[in-house]
Structure 1
């Protein structure tokens, strides 16, 4: 049964490959790729032999590929065909998958500052805590209540580093020891998405040198991916606060996440937060 399903999957890929290549070929004119028109054409787009020439493969081989025959395809050939057909990044990845190959990973996107829209969102989220972190878990924006509730100071620039080195955060976090393995495993899982980015190793190496707990956990090579968590903190003024934390990816900034904390139902966290926010406002309005 498994073999039959595998065969059916291959047949579907070949059928999709056939239609995909034909449709992409039809939309590219000879002029688009610097070739002469070559006389009257019965169908729009490039001819098969022109794609073969542009890709550096034999005409018969390319014909077999477009017909969906069972032939071996290399990454180099897929890249050559993608260039010949002027495929964009999404189409190139699709072609890789149709050929039964894993698409190459994209180069890491550069870190970008948090947009004014996201900063306004964080401010409007008050009195609930929220922040934005980049792919290396660096904070790019933190609202005032996140600093107050979790003990983040002006020297806290990285979520992972703060978790293991910020003594105030560690004291506040009710389940720090139980959560630490998940945090280290989450960072390793994120690093795996960017195998050519040395910054993850630098951050982990520097942190392992100053945090024995992190060094021990990092050496386990555990990985875990999650989009939600429950956080409980014992705040000196507000008392026990329990949150549902949700990680929301920001597609326009690959690797960046918006982390929002909502008072957990069944607790009085919302009321405690509102009272804490009121006290902070009074202190700001009447310092000293």
Structure 2
């Protein structure tokens, strides 16, 4: 049965909500994971036929009231709630240019003003658009090119580099799903999804869950081949001048083993980063590469 992105999302989220979560009694053997369609419809106050048409793509214009009710039944958080509204066409979807992304020269200069903190700029498809010297030192040896998703799912060293790989992968895919909902026609996002769908069963399993979350992990553990394990705090900021881009800055808590390890790592950082040879007046492109792309 043909369906829509909205129908796929409803079906995937329904499969992850148990009857107990919404106070429904269960009897006997259940043949479907999560809720049945009729259970969702009853809890949301809509007819079973209407809800089936939503999942099958035969109903494409649900009201905001219906979506609010479904969000409550499916236990969607704020990010997932907004994602649902975007899929239903009730929120504006930004139009993105097909040209490669570029980083504002002022932002490149800002990266170099953090000599003690690894900092990177992520594009809307999680391409690594730029970074400073500490970032290159932290993420040295990135084997899958300048894309965070490719690093996590295609680099054979990813699971050792990220001791909490399962959590990192889940959060990253949920954030990418939110980006895809904001820009469903973006060719670069589509390219990343297609490539990972063909090459990584782990990605497919997480992508099929349809989790959408903008909240990042607040800290992340790394196991660096030269300085060992370190835990870094994460601060992420939207780039106002380039919607969809994100500035991510890492730091270690003072007077901790991680701070000592980060200091040792900074000592190995090259004085000149890959942006050093660029004309300051020319923004960096997502199609450019660096010798030590971040993980």
Structure 2 partner of 1:106: 94
Q: Does the CA contact (< 8 Å) of 1:111 and 1:134 recur in 2?
A: no
Structure 1 partner of 2:154: 165
- Point out the structure with the larger helix share: 1
Asked whether 1:121 is paired with 2:110, we answer yes
Q: Deviations over 1:218-254 (max 9, x none)?
A: 1111211114521111222212211111210011101
- Counterpart CA distance in 1 for 2:182 and 2:126 is 13
Q: Does the CA contact (< 8 Å) of 1:149 and 1:235 recur in 2?
A: yes
Structure 2 partner of 1:222: 211
Structure 1 partner of 2:185: 196
> 1:236 and 1:153, CA in 2 relative to 1: closer, same or farther beyond 3 A?
closer
Structure 1 partner of 2:259: 270
Q: Does the CA contact (< 8 Å) of 2:162 and 2:168 recur in 1?
A: no
- Counterpart CA distance in 2 for 1:197 and 1:144 is 30
- Unaligned regions of 5+ residues in structure 1, if any? 1-100, 283-288
Q: TM-score scaled by structure 2? A: 0.55
Runs of 4+ in structure 1 over 6 Å off: none
> 1:280 and 1:147, CA in 2 relative to 1: closer, same or farther beyond 3 A?
closer
Q: Deviations over 1:247-276 (max 9, x none)?
A: 100111010000111113563322222222
- Unaligned regions of 5+ residues in structure 2, if any? 1-88, 272-295
> 1:266 and 1:228, CA in 2 relative to 1: closer, same or farther beyond 3 A?
farther
Asked whether 1:141 is paired with 2:130, we answer yes
SS in 2 for 1:145: helix
RMSD of aligned C-alpha atoms?
2.4
Larger Cα-atom Rg: 1
Q: Does the CA contact (< 8 Å) of 1:227 and 1:248 recur in 2?
A: no
